[in-house]
Amino acid sequence: MAYGVCPGFRGPGEALVLDTEDVRAFEANSAWLGVPLTLLMENAGRAVADAVECRLGGVEGRRVVAFAGRGGNGGDAIVAARHLAARGARVEVVLVYPDQLYTHPDTRLNLDALRRSGYARVRVARGPGDLEPVSADAVIDGVLGIGVRGRLREPAASAARAVSESGGLRVAVDVPTGVDPDTGEAAPGAASVDVTVTFHAMKPGLARPPGSMHAGEVLVAEVGMPPQASELAGPGDVAARIPPRPRDAHKGVGGRVLVVGGSSLYYGAAALAALAAYRAGADLAFLAAPERVAVAAASWSPVIIPRPLEGGRLEARHVDSVLEEASRAHAVLVGPGLGLAGETVEAVGRLLGELRGRPVVVDADALKAVARLGVSLWPEAILTPHRGEARLLLGGEEAEPGEAARRIAREYQATVIVKGPVDHICSPSGGCRRNTTGVPAMATGGTGDVLSGVAAAFLARRASLGLALKPLHTAAAAAYTVGRAGELAYEALGEGMTALDVASKVAAAVEEARRAPLHCGWPG
């Protein structure tokens, strides 16, 4: 069916495309920036009401039935019902689940408000048998949203069938129930609608069959997410991108990190990075280092698993054994404390060549080796230079941090964090983020090693669970976490804080971020 343009909406070809993880992360960042999810829900529901009014040519006296689930998607439908009722529609909201299950705070808030207003009738379905097709001018599918995957269970399955078989204009909130917003896969019995009103951005699954066939016309609504929510690294990048351990977790599922570093001149850097990886949630952290460094690190922190290398520094003869260790790791960190002896530089070049395509963090002396050798890297490699190291990577040229990050990412074909008072994070494809957390007291030895360890742990967590690495956003999550850990350490200790104090606050920063409000939970 051909439709005219609805004011205030964009078509699929005009909108940015974001997957579910990105939307969840940026919504949580919006709340961090002061735009609460309650406000986003209000704007989303109003957008659905606007679309219904637009497509019906007016709602005065029209009958509208909204099927509302118990999560954020149901809350959006309830808000839409309130707006439509206020415009003169005859509205009924069908609660798909028992009333006591509507515990999502924003959904509950809006459900209670709708009941108190008396604008619309609210009916609680007694069970799947009470979810039947209706004859109405418009039917709203607010049963399940972007946070749900897999087959439809009752009562959602019956509600989806009721939507599909109802008469009138059928409108889905964000995504039709049962359609995977990322892949376009449709569960058996997924709802089929005439119009889907999706929020913030186009979802990839709405443009791919069979999802596109279930979605009908797609209207993209801007609902007030500030641009900074996707530009700045924030707690949403941790809450939505760094998965908690699953309930059936066993040792290793959180990710195994191999740190390659240390030398007879630098004992502490590699150990600090390995400890930071643990604090960020890695299950195991191995340290491939000269024998004295590896043993000292394990003595200092028994959780660090030493992999001693003969001699006082990394050499070409060690590369094969390091690669064997790397084959059992989900992410590898190369660089802290290695030194710049000629054989070490040669070994770094060979090691990176053999690790090509794998999740790798390149830091400290390994960055200097890369600059000397002119090594081309890959997007899954994260470089973590400070301003001086960034200058080396650019052949001695000075550039402001944002430009340096863009150039290094492009020239080395890797993801890069240029560290500073504001961290600049860029990918070789041109995407960039910024991180503003942290304090001046972090400008001390070792904090860069903490960052590289956290970045490696976050890469390892995603790799161990088979998730796309998304190195730009994973790097942003690491930068935010370490900056926030530095803020927490400063609150406790002031100017006397050390990198070890920052590392000790990493776990607290991660847990704080995981409490960020999410419109929907982890997919499942």
CATH of the domain at 309: 3.40.1190.20
Share of the chain above pLDDT 90, in %: 90
Residue 524 lies in a domain: no
My answer on whether 305 and 409 are in the same domain is yes
pTM over 0.75, yes/no: yes
My answer on whether 225 and 308 are in the same domain is no
Mean pLDDT of 130-134: 95
My answer on whether 291 and 395 are in the same domain is yes
Residue 165 lies in a domain: yes
Residue 2 lies in a domain: no
Q: Which two tokens stand for residue 447?
A: 């904090």
My answer on whether 85 and 221 are in the same domain is yes
Residue 373 lies in a domain: yes
My answer on whether 239 and 225 are in the same domain is no
Residue 99 lies in a domain: yes
Provide the residue range defining the domain that includes 404.
235-514
For residue 285, is pLDDT > 70? yes
Q: Give pLDDT, residue 447.
A: 97
Q: Are 316 and 346 in contact (CB under 8 A)?
A: yes
Mean pLDDT of 393-403: 96
Of 231, 261, 287, which marks where a domain is finished? Answer: 231
Residue 508 lies in a domain: yes
Q: Give pLDDT, residue 3.
A: 60
Q: Give pLDDT, residue 524.
A: 33
Domain count within the chain = 2
Tell me the one-letter amino acid at 355: L
Residues in the chain, overall count: 524
My answer on whether 223 and 300 are in the same domain is no
Least confident segment among 136-150, 281-295, 477-491: 136-150
pLDDT digits over 413-452, tens only?
999 999 999 999 999 999 999 999 999 999 999 999 999 9
My answer on whether 222 and 240 are in the same domain is no
Q: Give pLDDT, residue 262.
A: 96
Between CA 333 and CA 107 the distance in angstroms is: 43
Q: Give pLDDT, residue 201.
A: 95
Read off the CATH number of the domain in which 155 is found. Answer: 3.40.50.10260
For residue 244, is pLDDT > 90? no
Helix, coil or strand: residue 308: strand
Between CA 411 and CA 375 the distance in angstroms is: 10
Mean pLDDT of 199-228: 96
pLDDT digits over 350-392, tens only?
999 999 999 999 999 999 999 999 988 999 999 999 999 999 9
For residue 2, is pLDDT > 60? no
Nearest to 366 by CA among 262, 282, 291: 262
Q: Are 332 and 366 in contact (CB under 8 A)?
A: no
Mean pLDDT of 29-33: 96
Between CA 388 and CA 333 the distance in angstroms is: 20
Q: Give pLDDT, residue 252.
A: 67
Q: Which two tokens stand for residue 24?
A: 């969840």
Residue 521 lies in a domain: no
pLDDT digits over 69-84, tens only?
999 999 999 999 999 9
Nearest to 82 by CA among 130, 42, 40: 42
Nearest to 254 by CA among 457, 72, 73: 457
My answer on whether 226 and 328 are in the same domain is no
Q: Give all strands (DSSP E) within 335-444, no chain letters.
A: 360-362, 381-383, 415-418, 423-426, 432-435
Q: Which two tokens stand for residue 176?
A: 């039709």
My answer on whether 222 and 313 are in the same domain is no
Between CA 56 and CA 62 the distance in angstroms is: 9
Mean pLDDT, the chain, whole residue set: 94
Nearest to 225 by CA among 495, 458, 519, 452: 519
